[in-house]
Chain A
Amino acid sequence: MSADVMPITKNTNSPAKAVDSPWKTAWRRFTKNRLAVIGFILIVFMFMFCFLGPLFSPYNLFDYNSKLKNLAPSSTYWLGTDKLGRDMLLRVMLAGRISLLVGLVATLITVIIGATLGALAGFYGKFVDTIIMRVADIFMALPSLPILIILGAVLSDLKVHPNIRIYYLMVIIGILNWTTLARLVRGQILTLREQEFMQATEALGLKDTRKIFKHLLPNTVPVIIVTATLSVAGAILSESALSFLGIGVVPPTPSWGNMISAANNLIDFRKRPWLWIPPGTCILITTVAINLIGDGLRDALDPKTKK
């Protein structure tokens, strides 16, 4: 299917351009990976669908009409209508604006915090490791629900506008999730640190930052990618629950998470698949796309693959 897993063959095919910077090489490799490009196109498509799509919709987010509730998909309402008679297609598109942002930004924050702290802990060990990992322990032990209730109350007391709260929400999801990745990265670095190539960097007298960010972290990219893919879907789904506590979006603003959760019983499940299949599919496409891009990135960044 694809050549990206067979470094040996790839090696012979790649034109040797030793002068390229690693990033340039990575970009070249990424664009040559067909699946990764498909993933990239999918994501671009989802963004266009969600950000440009609503401009072409004849409906309005604030329209509600009890006479039109729960209509099945038809030529007027391509994806049917919801419990208040609102157009599902428009809602799915608008929901994506929130959900895509929440999913991607929250994941980015998780990855940045988790990977950096995990790498520092694994690389320096000793005191640094103890501090970072004990902080991680504390974070893991804290019950998230009460914390979120407090945050919701505080945001409400500060009269933060609900439209701005989703930015807090992204940060909060990111902060609550970093520990898993930090421990995973740290574990890998503990192993990597002892490998021969690190002794080589030692011998070359490289700076710590260079050792960490150029030699160690790239080797942990695979585990970062997996965590990131898993967390995109997770963040999109948790957003809806956070809304309830006053942190996320507020109805009528839709999100994929709150749309699926609104169809939370066996009857909707059986009788009205149009209420949950579209948002579910959108999350699925986004997750798959992120995963494809992730795989492509991994292959592109992987130092073990020869240039």
Chain B
Amino acid sequence: MKQYIIRRLLQMIPTLIGISIIIFAISAMVPGDYITARANPNMSIEKQEQLRAIYGLDKPDYQRYFIWAGNMIKGNFGDSMQHKKPVTAVINTFVWNSFIIGFCSLILSWSIAIITGIFSAKFQYSLFDKIITLLVFICMSLPSFFIGLLLIKFLALDLKLFPVGGMTTAGLNGSGWIYIKDVIKHAFLPIMVLTMLSTGSLTRYFRTSMLEVIRQDYIRTARAKGLKERTVIFKHAFRNAMIPAITLLGFELPALFGGAMIMEQIFVWPGIGHVYLSSINMRDYPFMLGFTIFLAMLTLVGNLLADVLYGIADPRIRLK
């Protein structure tokens, strides 16, 4: 196992180099740069050239790649053009806000999905199962911004239970507990929507996986042995049903830090997703590249974790 992990970690190096080349090539191929994206009607050609020279955009692409990659190795992500600050500082400012709601909804959605998944499977085609199935599909058939607006309308505007958006009450000077309470109040709706969105697909996966396992011979054997139904379901079936879930868990790592773009936008949550999107729209290459690489690393680590967890969960799997 140890050897396997080391080998996988070593494999990450060429993978990352490959990713960095592709990502950089993408950024070079995308039409426009920061200066065209700004579309200033008064900017003279000389000024444009001067700015491109300062940003280093005037050099040939391969040269720019080596400069950029060299700096990345040294840990220098460069300065965000839009924010006029180091990329790492910008990431650090926003990423934790995304992490807060991402983490809470991860915990919630997995807990809910596991429970509803098991019960949906246990009582397949019962009324409970059908309602859950229908709800899941309704959530999927509408764009997520719609679901966000719907909740704002009912819970924030009509019932006035929660603020419409933001992370804190503007001008609140509280600290400590008051501050935390304020953030929780603001975070409630975005977490709720994120949870609703991700619970849906997770529930489907768990339900299916559980259904599969229940039909397996060893479950029938366990039942035949006269084990209590609860023991059969939770001890024998559940553990095996969770194996596909491990793959999904691996995907969660980059998602935790990647930010939920739509929800951050709708609820004015100061997360990284929105910043990332605007960096793409504005061709803020240093930020776009830096953050993409950051997410790429998390993706690789997440997938490695998933593979390692497989081995632990199912000792029959031989990882080589």
Contacts and interface: CB of A to CB of B under 8 A. Distances in A.
> Do any CB atoms of chain A lie under 8 A from CB atoms of chain B in the complex?
yes
Interface of A: 1-2, 5, 7, 125-126, 130, 133-134, 136-138, 140-143, 145-147, 149-150, 153, 180, 183-184, 187-188, 190-191, 194-195, 222-223, 225-226, 229-230, 233-234, 237, 257, 260-261, 264-266, 269-270, 276, 280-281, 283-284, 287-288, 291, 302, 304-305
Interface stretch (B21-29, B85-93, B185-193): B21-29
Nearest to A238: B143
A225 B208 contact: yes
B310 A190 contact: yes
Interface residues of B, number: 61
Nearest to A129: B320
B138 A284 contact: yes
B317 A190 contact: yes
A257 B152 CA distance: 22
B250 A150 contact: no
A270 B125 CA distance: 34
A1 B15 CA distance: 50
Contacts of B300: 137, 141
Given A137-B300, A141-B19, A233-B141, A191 B208 contact: no
Contacts of A287: 137, 140-141
A195 B316 CA distance: 8
B246 A142 contact: no
Best-surrounded residue of B137, B141, B277 (most CB of chain A within 10 A): B141
B317 A5 contact: no
A142 B22 contact: yes
B82 interface: no
Given A5-B125, A264-B145, A141 B316 contact: no
11 contacts: A5-B124, A126-B320, A140-B254, A149-B30, A184-B248, A194-B318, A223-B205, A226-B208, A261-B143, A287-B140, A287-B141
B83 interface: no
A223 B292 contact: no
Contacts, number: 154
B22 A143 contact: no
Interface string B205-221: 10011011001100000
Contacts of A304: 215-216
A191 B150 contact: no
B274 interface: no
B131 to A, nearest CB: 13
A270 B18 CA distance: 49
A142 B250 contact: no
Nearest to A193: B317
Ranked 8 nearest A-B pairs via Cβ: A141-B296, A194-B316, A284-B141, A283-B141, A233-B140, A1-B125, A222-B208, A187-B247
Contact of B29 (A142, A150, A225, A261): A150
B262 to A, nearest CB: 11
A284 B306 CA distance: 32
A2 B125 contact: yes
Given A146-B280, A188-B244, 4 more contacts: A130-B11, A141-B23, A143-B295, A230-B201
A304 B215 CA distance: 8
A160 B14 CA distance: 36
Contact of A266 (B149, B246, B296, B320): B149
A2 B240 CA distance: 26
Interface in B13-72: 14-15, 18-19, 22-23, 26-27, 29-31
Given A130-B11, A190-B310, A143 B205 contact: no
Interface in B132-162: 133-134, 137-138, 140-143, 145-146, 149-150, 152-153
B201 to A, nearest CB: 5
B119 to A, nearest CB: 15
A25 B115 CA distance: 35
Nearest to A282: B141
B26 A150 contact: yes
